[in-house]
Amino acid sequence: MNTIPVIIEKTFNAKPARVWKAITDLHDMKQWYFDIPEFEAEIGFDFQFIAGSETKKFLHICKITEIINGKKITYSWRYDGYAGNSFVTFELFPEGNKTKLRLTHEDLETFPSDNPDLAKENFVAGWNQIIGENLKTFVEKA
């Protein structure tokens, strides 16, 4: 069983406060992440959203488990109707006027291995698009 988490690190030409707002503010999140109906950056807050491929959508069910304001947010990430529970962590590291973001998605091995939609390589590709393209474009725009 592969228990190595997905880790994506990207450096943005944006200050940490800008990146933090982008990953914790509902209005900002809707512009680069997913269409999340409700979100509050507080421990214990439950949120859901629907996302997936053109042919198959999944109800994502999440709960915030840890926050270090301005630096780190972690939430559980599971799928309605499927076994498994994983955790997504966004961590911010100031680098002058730039910010390094480390995204860690762990416990992917708890998802059904016979479901190709939940394969680790799909998470790697998805997070690279979401963090490396969508978030980067959003936080670096004027």
Closest CA to 33 of 142, 96, 127: 127
- pLDDT at residue 2 tops 90: no
- The residue ranges of every structural domain in the chain are 6-140
Query: Global pTM?
Result: 0.95
103 bridge partner residues? 8, 90
Strand-by-strand arrangement of the 98-106 sheet: 6-12, 98-106, 86-95, 72-79, 57-68, 46-52
Query: Mind giving me the DSSP string for 91-136?
Result: EEEEETTEEEEEEEEE-GGGS-TT-GGG-HHHHHHHHHHIIIIIIH
Determine contact, residues 88/67, Cβ cutoff 8 Å.
no
Residue 3 or residue 123, greater confidence:
123
Q: Looking at the domain 6-140, which fold is it?
A: Alpha-D-Glucose-1,6-Bisphosphate; Chain A, domain 4 (3.30.530)
Rounded Cα distance, 33 and 31, in Å: 6
Q: Output the pLDDT for position 17.
A: 97
Rounded Cα distance, 126 and 134, in Å: 11
Residues 35-71 pLDDT 10s? 999 999 999 999 999 998 888 999 999 999 999 999 9
Rounded Cα distance, 101 and 21, in Å: 13
Q: Output the pLDDT for position 3.
A: 84
* Tokens 């959003």 sit on residue: 138
Mean pLDDT of 134-139: 98
Radius of gyration of the chain (CA): 15
